[in-house]
Structure 1
């Protein structure tokens, strides 16, 4: 049997956190395990208890369990306000590569960037179940790590590193919208746009601009939403899923601004685009939600803005029924649920 390699990063992160039960002393395994189990229970669809305990935590710290399941990793990151890299959950070669690149001992390479991107992909799906507030600390920690990787990237690797950092800034901007932290959201999205321009990454630039347009739609700032949406649509190098989203968004902006004829024209264009979406298993991690059920809801928003409230409610109900079950209670699906209840 190979020698066990203790997870000292997790142990040190636990010991660096002060106990809530006994202030002034490090947090023990039993206390941390209870907080992790409570976090998981809060985010379980049915509120079921979870068997995670100090024995399981001890196995992780001793290296018996190298990489626990996604929900346990997410809970530990949330409770300890740390990234997966901070807690030693990246696979050993990836963890060493990321740590050395982040510290500047080695130049950042593609493998280090890919390791952080994989964590981001799992956090996006966790947001569907847990909500923005719960995943934001993890995303913030990943963004700090990506900043170090970008600072230490050279040559052809730098655009890839800067592009990943842009995506993390963009995601922080998105997560601050449901929390109504409008200034923070704008700051992150502005930075994401600048970084995407530096990386010459049209998809990340268009996404950041469309999220900024969505932010302004939520604040009923139609002039800014219109300008940002128009900017998001300028580069035709983006994938069809994002182009479809931007076009539906354009239709909603125009409808809310009273431009009915033009809104209907953009709605027809968006409908045509949605007929050519790739299969869900071919979508990138950064746009896994660009599927028919998602866009059915976008169409409902446009109908509601055009004054067809009954049609919007019907489409919203259909959209929710079409969604994967794990999406139906997601924070971002709240607008769809509200429309679906208009005739209730």
Structure 2
């Protein structure tokens, strides 16, 4: 297995040294090569090699994202032209994509090397923003600048215009991204198994005021109207460009653009359901019980009232 190589992507500000040391020790025992992006070389031990960001996916058999969902999304974007399995180690606050906690990392690394995992394909949005190509695994957003008015944009699907939006922001999301900004703006929760694109206006003033769900085969175009304010374009939460009233974005859905490692898909779904329940979807008592560790589950059972005869 000395030809097996793993790339590391690091949260930009969190202390990742403990997790990195665990991975370095494991790699040394198993003859696994480790690489990191050149800009992160100073944050890892000297035995970890460096590669340009553009070569990380093509030079590795798997990637390990150390952080939260934001780090995972960035890792998926790095590998979009050459998808390889990405294992997420959770150091964030409220992650849906990442699965492995630091204490479970040694066992997960062994399973990664042995191929004992499943892969969850992730779709993305392939977008053209004023001629520049970008990809978004959660969402692409047209957002207004405070104090500069509203975003006013026309909606066209497969070249046919359908109406306009006048709102604070326009959110175009994947099914995975439907749990993020789109959901906070009143959009629907879409199953990750679905193939769809969701367009959700935030704080609509006039025009189309409700979310729209499109087929994955339809091409979406949003074009700023002449009386629109300047808009910031965000991709997965990062501002990438500012566009004026002649700007437009075109969005296509791309299947199987990312590969997320799942060690326990059922358990991960249950944890994601719990996180959603904390937002808006209450769980039944028996569903909550299944998410508890065994000692707490026993205590939960003791506290339940006896069944009614």
Q: Shorter chain as normaliser: what TM range? A: under 0.3
Q: Using CA pairs under 8 Å that are at least 6 residues apart, name the structure with larger relative contact order, 1 or 2.
A: 2
When normalised by structure 1's length, the TM-score is 0.25
Determine which structure has the larger strand proportion and give its number. Answer: 2
When normalised by structure 2's length, the TM-score is 0.27
Determine which structure has the larger helix proportion and give its number. Answer: 1
